[in-house]
Chain A
């Protein structure tokens, strides 16, 4: 399945049409989930605020408002880096789902899909920090630093929580990991890894309890000075990251596209939507955690828990073989 380099005959790389089709499927799934997350979030907000409407159109109203808003200009802002940060963030979820086999294959059938997902997570670090730095504003910059501190705390738990399914399937290749869950989902015997993974998804989406980088105490932090289209892109990218994280969890923990009656793509979407709904809902239920507190939680609770989970998985794998 993997891309085998220049001197391999082209037929082993699959038809180009298949790749385009797979890319469109993955993009469609991402778009659907992202919009769904934004609508759900708007509805939850409207209900909590006790407003008359359902709030279902809230994301579209906000998008229309931001599209008409004029871009804010700042004194000696580093425009290049600022744009790279704000616009680049939207690229990350797209690159994340590129390795996820939504349909019969992934758009980018890399045999190290798990590692690729981790690498794309680090792209979020760069984008968020650059968005905070480029504005040349104190609150933005503090937001950028907050995110880096938080990132250092969730990155290693994320890596080890993904190493657990890779150890169970003896592969970093997503289709192989899905195939290894024929009998029982990895969620069943790696619950701790799944939990730390979900925390990390909240972390790289700067969402809910892990959103101090965009905190109200910093008048918006990283996005304090971002306006107009850029703001729309950054806020959409957060929903996109949540959606990509949920979609990636399906092949890794939730048995991929397996399920009765419905086609595989539908099961992918349903499972991802379930995870996504819980993550979106968590924002209203869990208070924001200060980065310095989360730093210690990440290193002293989440990381050891994920490591023990990997050990358990390794022992079970050796025992079963």
Chain B
């Protein structure tokens, strides 16, 4: 019973924090409202006995939001906290779409005759997931890894302004000329 109430409370926190993302008037508040929403969902996933994935969500999403806050401040030229303004387009249509999608989903959730649970969770769930990932589902992990590497390379290639010719000169021979030299003497 107590567990059910805690689960529901976390759900309410997640949804309210999610709504706060688009209603608060400060970029930092919006970002950390989203972080709060993620934390609530991560704790809910832990409550659903998936400790590894749940704590992983906490770890990754808080890290992501900490970085996201920097991007928010960097890219949004003005401070909406000082100049309140609406930064949305098609507000009515969007609200209508989101509302009807939500209604349809809730209707489906309530009306669907959900089947009974098949099988039982293994006793050592975290270890079982580890074995699964590195044995029979190795292919999924092996696919995710190059996708991640490609993302890193692609992201850096897109975002970098200075190329290697800017750093090392036309012949790529002179020592690196960086505006901010690093700490290991390259």
- Chain A residues near B180 (CB-CB < 8 A): 292
Contact A172 B183 (CB under 8 A): no
Interface residues of B (CB under 8 A from A): 3-4, 26, 28-29, 32, 35, 47-49, 51-52, 55-56, 58-59, 62-63, 65-67, 69-70, 81-82, 121, 124-127, 180-184, 186
B62 near A111: Cβ-Cβ < 8 Å: no
Interface residues on A, range: 35 or more
Give residues in A with beta carbon < 8 Å to B. Answer: 2-6, 76, 78, 80-81, 84, 110-112, 115-116, 118-119, 122-123, 125-126, 129-130, 133-134, 145, 148, 151-152, 155, 171-173, 289-290, 292-297, 300-301
Q: What 7 pairs between A and B have smallest CB-CB spacing? A: A293-B183, A5-B49, A296-B182, A119-B59, A296-B183, A125-B66, A119-B58
Partner of A119, one of B62, B66, B183, B184: B62
Q: Are A126 and B35 in contact (CB under 8 A)?
A: yes
Q: Please determine whether A123 and B182 come into contact, CB atoms closer than 8 angstroms.
A: no
Min Cβ gap A41→B in Å is: 27
Q: Are B184 and A296 in contact (CB under 8 A)?
A: yes
- Would you call A78 and B182 a contact (CB within 8 A)? no
Inter-chain contacts of A112 with B (CB < 8 A): 51-52, 55, 126
Contact B29 A80 (CB under 8 A): yes
CB<8 Å pairs between A and B, sample of 13 = A3-B51, A6-B4, A81-B29, A112-B126, A115-B52, A119-B55, A148-B66, A148-B70, A292-B182, A294-B183, A296-B182, A297-B183, A301-B184
Residue pair B55, A115 in contact (C-beta under 8 Å): yes
| Known A119-B58, A123-B62; contact A5-B182, beta-carbon cutoff 8 A | no
Chain B residues whose CB sits within 8 angstroms of the CB of A115 once the complex forms: 52, 55-56, 59
Given contact pairs A148-B67, A296-B182, A126 touches B55 in the complex (Cβ within 8 A)? no
Q: Which residues of A contact B56 (CB under 8 A)?
A: 115
Inside 8 A of A116's CB, which chain B residues have their CB? 55
CB-CB nearest in chain A for B29: A81
| Contact between chains at B28 and A130 (CB < 8 Å) | yes
Task: Determine the distance from Cα of A131 to Cα of B186 in the docked complex, in whole angstroms.
Answer: 34
> How many angstroms from the CA of A300 to the CA of B183 in the assembled complex?
9
Asked if A295 and B67 sit within 8 Å, CB to CB, the answer is: no
Q: Which of A119, A152, A293 has a CB less than 8 Å from the CB of B182?
A: A293
User: Do B70 and A125 touch across chains, with their CB atoms under 8 A apart?
Assistant: no
